[in-house]
């Protein structure tokens, strides 16, 4: 680490609490920690010993990780060492371990290989970065779930073998034990298939697409090179400089073996029958029609009506299966555009021949054919939860991702199927923070929300889709610290004590800083994008990471390390735009946020005259676009009356909503409006834009303020979504009291 000593001094100066004892900042928290008298110091010449030959890779991993954390070289030896790794002679649960440190030695006894790795992870967290000293302890610990997963999408943007190894090291340090490797998608086929070389020769490369353009635009706007596509990911393909990359089968084996040495099973996903553009566009007889490409939302899928297409899919898996020793394979099965199947004579003939009811059942038939094939090759199948829609096989495991399909997990478990929990509104870490923040992930009670049978929920998993993630630095920025909350709820039943968890997280962020693993400094508490005031107001910034440094500008420019440092609340008496940016103690920049302070008068209101009708008018348009301002250009579908700002029952699919009427506020005051939506929304009151939460995005809550006089003010919320969205407006007064929707809204 460059400048490590300097950084450490800065960390120590800023967070005195985090440096005394690290046994108070474990993530995840072990089940039982007994702190003993005294401490043990490991110095140069210390060793990691292994009690059985199978543990040699674990000892090598421990030595490498200890070197990174403590800065001390550990030699690896067979038999006992300064730190000794062994597998228990007595019975322990899968993944369980016992760690003891005393009398100058440490021992990690695991139930199995994974248990030993879990014990190493705990030991690593006990060291102060750069120090060889740890407190003497006795720890016994075991996981709640056997499936503690993290997904990585290498299709939308490509990650090298070395980057995957770094990623795997970080996962192991927090006791994740599954890596779901999303190897293929429409934007790039990333695994060599010898029988079908065009999949990688052509399918692994592309000229820049719209996802790349979003990354470039953000890199430019936010002055952030982590959003640029790395120069080493380009090649001359068909006479053109193209972006991409793929793994040879040897490289796949190398990654799988590396993960195994860190106790991590790798689950490959070759997504089918949709998301397979490289296959359908480079090989004949795979899609329904010769012409392939994009429909309204998704790409042309494989044709389940053609035997040649099934053969193709099986041939691909025949090469994939031997590369992955773990028992599970993920078949995908999400987001299939079925319009081609409706028109395709082969698909329709298959539906008839097999006595299927519709295209959903055709999808299930395809998935079940593939499952039979996988089972015959010794593998168990996982599928995304859409696989339920046309009937579910008795043996597959469901990865629940559609947070809006809340019944899917209970339906699956009622049928006897196992479930992995990874709903997009909480566990998709590539989504912006906001609604899916550390607190909401930590507090997320998926069993209560879904009613799934707990005995069939095998675990939880985070996801890192890479459309907007072109580099490992950006990947870690999206993942941490929120992946800590997933690690925690995968490992132990949450105790509900978020503040204690947050304090442990703060300690771990210092650890990440030391290891050079990027992370996002969590959002400021109670952040608002518009602050209204009538006389004076204060910019007050507080947040979880006390080491964070916020720099700001007031001229709209992007803050740099030279911009003024926020040190205490700033009083504002005029219209002011603050542009804010967090920097790590080491100087690495985060994203840019703005808050606009607006000096406002209370403005005029109407007074009720008794002809008001309760609620708001919600007009639904058949809108498929991505900007609130265009909703009313789409065909009108239906009018509803709603009690609150919400998606009316009965509106589904393409939704464009214009919700209008009056808000009846009870007193002159500055009101706060928190608008949560997936996708975009806007809130206008008295013709003034109060919250602009527009454009396509995951669930984001933006909060603005407005000074309003007692009485009625015209209000209009615009909102759109195409595939299972969220809309909520919370109104509170200047004392922070939420105002009930009942009686708040009216129309004429």
Instruction: Return residues touching ligand ACM (CB under 6 A).
Output: 334-335, 384, 401, 424
Question: Closest residue (Cβ) to ligand ACM?
Answer: 334
Instruction: Identify the residue among 303, 331, 421, 479 touching Zn ion (CB under 5 A).
Output: 303
Q: Does 305 bind Zn ion (CB under 5 A)?
A: yes
Q: Binding partner of residue 303 among Zn ion, ligand ACM, none, CB under 5 to 8 Å per kind?
A: Zn ion
Q: Nearer to Zn ion by C-beta: 267 or 347?
A: 347
Residue 199, φ and ψ in degrees, nearest 5: -55, -40
For residue 40, give the 3-state DSSP assignment. Answer: strand
Which residues are CB-neighbours of 127 under 8 A, at least 6 positions away?
Answer: 22, 66, 69, 70, 133, 134
Number of residues in contact with Zn ion under rule CB under 5 A? 6
CB of 382 to ligand ACM, least distance (A): 11
DSSP 370-397: HHHHHHHTT-EEEEEGGGGTT---SS-E
**Shortest CA distance to 453 belongs to which of 411, 412, 413?**
413
Give the C-alpha separation, 676 to 728, whole Å: 5
Please give the Cα distance from 387 to 240 (Å, whole number): 39
Number of H helices, E strands in the chain: 19, 37
Give me the residue label for tokens 């900042």. Answer: 25
Contact partner at residue 347 from Zn ion, ligand ACM, none, CB < 5 to 8 Å by partner kind: Zn ion
Q: Which is nearer to Zn ion, 369 or 686 (CB)?
A: 369
- CB under 5 to 8 A by kind: which of ligand ACM, Zn ion, none does 467 bind? none
**Minimal CA–CA distance to 408: which of 381, 425, 385?**
385
Q: Which is nearer to ligand ACM, 281 or 698 (CB)?
A: 698
Query: Is residue 320 a contact point for Zn ion (CB under 5 A)?
Result: no
Q: Residue 156 or residue 584: which is nearer to ligand ACM going by CB?
A: 156
Half-sphere exposure of 123 toward its Cβ, with a 13 Å CA cutoff? 35
Measure Cα distances from 602 to 308, 543, 671, 743 in Å.
70, 31, 11, 21
Report in angstroms how near the CB of residue 316 gets to Zn ion at its nearest. Answer: 18
Task: State the minimum distance, in angstroms, from the CB of residue 366 to Zn ion.
Answer: 10
Span from 182-190, 303-311, 372-380, 448-456 in contact with Zn ion (CB under 5 A): 303-311
Shortest spacing between CB 286 and Zn ion, in angstroms = 10
- Report the partner that residue 346 touches, choosing among Zn ion, ligand ACM, none (CB closer than 5 to 8 A by kind): Zn ion
For residue 6, give the H/E element and its range. Answer: helix 4-14
344 binds, among ligand ACM, Zn ion, none (CB under 5 to 8 A by kind): Zn ion
CA angle at 421 for the pair 419 and 423, rounded to the nearest 5°? 130
Alpha helices by DSSP H, listed for 458-497, are 472-479, 482-491
Q: Which does 136 bind (CB under 5 to 8 A by kind): Zn ion, ligand ACM, none?
A: none
Look at residue 374 and give the partner it binds from ligand ACM, Zn ion, none, a contact being a CB closer than 5 to 8 Å depending on partner kind: none
Taking the complex as a whole, the smallest distance from the CB of residue 385 to ligand ACM amounts, in Å, to: 8
- Complex with ligand ACM: residue 384 or 484, whichever CB lies closer: 384
The least distance separating Zn ion from the CB of residue 346, rounded to whole angstroms, comes to 5
The smaller minimum CB distance to Zn ion, of residues 288 and 521, is found at: 288
In the complex, the smallest distance separating the C-beta of residue 437 from ligand ACM, rounded to whole angstroms, is 20
Token pair, residue 669, equals 């005051």
Q: Which of 85, 266, 267, 288 binds Zn ion (CB under 5 A)?
A: 288
Question: From the CB of 424, what's the least distance to ligand ACM, in Å?
Answer: 6
Binding to Zn ion, residues 322-361 (CB under 5 A): 344, 346-347
Q: Closer to ligand ACM by CB, 384 or 623: give it.
A: 384
Nearer CB in complex with Zn ion: 116/344: 344
Q: What is the maximum alpha-carbon separation in the chain?
A: 88
Nearer to ligand ACM among residue 285 and residue 724 (C-beta): 724
Q: Which residues have CB under 8 Å from 67's CB, separation 6+? A: 73, 74
Strand partners, 134: 40
Residues 6+ apart with CB under 8 A from 554: 576, 577, 578, 579
Place of tokens 């044709």: 303
- Whether omega for the bond prior to residue 264 falls within 30 degrees of 0, making it cis, is no
Q: What does the binding site for Zn ion look like in residue numbers (CB under 5 A)? A: 288, 303, 305, 344, 346-347
């Amino acid at each position: 680490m460059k400048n490590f000593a300097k950084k450490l001094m800065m960390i120590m100066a800023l967070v005195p609490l985090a440096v005394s004892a690290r046994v108070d900042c474990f993530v995840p928290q072990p089940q039982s920690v007994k702190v003993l008298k005294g401490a043990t110091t490991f110095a140069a010449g210390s060793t990691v010993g292994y009690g059985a030959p199978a543990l040699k890779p674990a000892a090598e991993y421990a030595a490498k990780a200890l070197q990174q954390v403590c800065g001390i070289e550990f030699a690896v030896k067979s038999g006992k060492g300064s730190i000794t790794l062994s597998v228990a002679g007595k019975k322990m649960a899968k993944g369980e371990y016992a760690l003891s440190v005393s009398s100058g030695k440490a021992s990690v006894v695991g139930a199995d290989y994974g248990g030993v790795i879990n014990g190493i992870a705990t030991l690593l967290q006990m060291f102060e970065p750069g120090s060889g000293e740890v407190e003497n302890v006795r720890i016994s610990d075991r996981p709640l779930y056997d499936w503690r997963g993290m997904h990585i999408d290498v299709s939308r943007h490509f990650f090298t073998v070395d980057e995957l190894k770094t990623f795997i090291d970080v996962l192991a340090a927090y006791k994740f034990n599954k890596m779901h490797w999303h190897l293929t998608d429409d934007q790039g086929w990333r695994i060599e298939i010898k029988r079908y070389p065009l999949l990688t020769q052509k399918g692994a490369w592309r000229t820049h697409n719209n996802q790349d353009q979003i990354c470039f635009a953000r890199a430019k706007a936010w002055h952030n090179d982590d959003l640029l596509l790395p120069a080493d990911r380009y090649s001359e393909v068909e006479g053109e400089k193209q972006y991409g990359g793929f793994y040879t089968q040897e490289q796949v084996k190398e990654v799988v073996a590396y993960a195994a040495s860190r106790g991590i099973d790798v689950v490959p996903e070759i997504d089918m029958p949709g998301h397979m553009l490289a296959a359908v566009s480079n090989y004949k007889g795979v899609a329904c029609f010769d012409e392939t490409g994009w429909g309204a939302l998704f790409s042309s899928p494989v044709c389940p009506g053609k035997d040649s297409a099934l053969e193709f899919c099986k041939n691909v898996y025949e090469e994939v299966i031997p590369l992955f020793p773990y028992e599970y394979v993920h078949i995908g099965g999400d987001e299939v555009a079925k319009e081609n199947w409706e028109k395709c004579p082969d698909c329709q003939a298959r539906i008839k021949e097999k006595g299927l009811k519709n295209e959903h059942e055709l999808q299930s038939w395809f998935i079940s054919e593939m499952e039979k094939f996988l089972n015959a090759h010794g593998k168990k199948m996982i599928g995304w939860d859409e696989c339920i829609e046309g009937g579910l096989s008795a043996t597959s495991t469901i990865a629940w991702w559609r947070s809006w399909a809340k019944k899917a997990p209970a339906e699956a478990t009622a049928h006897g199927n196992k479930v992995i929990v990874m709903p997009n509104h909480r566990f998709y870490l590539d989504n912006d923070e906001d609604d899916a923040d550390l607190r909401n992930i930590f507090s997320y009670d998926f069993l209560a929300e879904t009613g799934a049978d707990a005995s069939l929920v095998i675990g939880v998993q985070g996801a890192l889709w890479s459309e907007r993630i072109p580099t490992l630095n950006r990947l870690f920025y999206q993942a941490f610290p929120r992946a800590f909350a997933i690690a925690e709820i995968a490992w132990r039943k949450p105790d509900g004590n978020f503040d204690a968890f947050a304090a442990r997280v703060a300690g771990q962020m210092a650890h990440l800083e030391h290891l050079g693993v990027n992370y996002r400094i969590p959002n400021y508490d109670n952040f608002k994008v518009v602050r209204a005031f009538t006389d004076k107001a204060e910019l007050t910034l507080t947040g979880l990471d006390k080491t964070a440094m916020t720099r700001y500008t007031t001229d709209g420019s992007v803050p740099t390390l030279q911009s003024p440092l926020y040190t205490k609340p700033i009083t504002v008496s005029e219209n002011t735009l603050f542009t804010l940016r967090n920097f790590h103690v080491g100087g690495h920049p985060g994203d840019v946020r703005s808050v606009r302070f607006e000096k406002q008068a209370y403005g005029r209101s109407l007074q009720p005259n008794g002809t008001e009708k309760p609620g708001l008018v919600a007009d639904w348009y058949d809108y498929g676009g991505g900007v609130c301002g265009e909703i009313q250009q789409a065909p009108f579908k239906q009018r509803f009356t709603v009690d609150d700002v919400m998606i009316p029952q009965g509106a589904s699919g393409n939704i464009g909503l214009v919700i209008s009427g009056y808000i009846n506020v009870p007193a002159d005051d500055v009101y706060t409006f928190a608008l949560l939506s997936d996708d975009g929304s806007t809130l206008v009151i008295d013709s003034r834009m109060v919250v602009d939460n527009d454009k396509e995005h995951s669930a984001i809550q933006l909060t603005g303020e407005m000074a309003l006089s007692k009485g009625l003010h015209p209000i209009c919320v615009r909102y759109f979504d195409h595939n299972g969205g969220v809309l909520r407006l919370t109104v509170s007064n200047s004392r922070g009291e939420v105002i009930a929707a009942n009686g708040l809204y009216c129309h004429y």
